[in-house]
Amino acid sequence: MLILTSSINFVTKHFLRYLPKDPQKIKLTFIPTAAEVEEGDLQWLKNDKQSLVDAGFQITEFTLTGKDQEEVRQMLNKTDFIFVSGGNTFYLLQEMRKSGFSDLISSYIKKGLIYGGSSAGSLVAGPDISLVKELDDSSLAPELKDYKGLNLIDVAVFPHWGNDQFHKRYGKMMKSGYKKGLKIILLTDDQYLLVDRNKYSIESI
């Protein structure tokens, strides 16, 4: 199962109904890696984490930065739900590759691991993140050689749709996406994409 959002704190209470068991019985690993290169007070990151705490999940925090594949594998073996935060999509993908996370995650999802994401964490799940150059600074990921996503889904998720802050840049992203032939799903802050057994549904609170 995948739960892809713009900001998970807006929809946490809504998606709980789709989980296989109560949050109190689910071990959730919170991955803040994408936010490590962002500036400011990161209140949005705090809000996302707090919403998951309030829902009752057993939460452990784990960064992919500086980790190797064995460390990532051990982490995945101990968790039921991976939540990948927002931040810089390019830096996130770079660290997913360097740590081996990108090579492992698909097989764990097939075995029942839940993948959740906010913004960058949702964007990276698709086939291509090159469109995000209109939103994120790609220079923060100097070791990233190409922009192929995790390919957990066959669509590009555009978070924060309808947000005035991103209006003009999203117009350019849409044009680039259509030129590349990508399937695109637009998500407002109060929507999320639920992917379960290869069935896609856009849920609204």
160 tagged catalytic: yes
Tokens for 88? 């810089």
Helix (H) or strand (E) holding 82: strand 81-84
Nearest to residue 63, comparing CAs of 52, 78, 75, 51?
A: 75
Comparing CA positions, the residue from 113, 90, 202 lying closest to residue 155 is 202
Catalytic residue among 119, 122, 130, 138: 119
Of 55, 56, 132, 42, nearest to 93 by C-alpha is: 132
Instruction: Name the pairing type of β-strands 27-31 and 58-61.
Output: parallel
Active-site residue flag, 85: no
Are 60 and 76 in contact by the 8 Å Cβ rule? The answer is: no
Q: What are phi and psi of 139, to 5 degrees?
A: -70, -15
For residue 92, what are the CA distances in angstroms to 123, 124, 150, 168, 200?
10, 8, 11, 24, 24
Show Cβ contacts of residue 146 under 8 Å, excluding neighbours closer than 6 positions: none
Active site amino acids: 119, 160
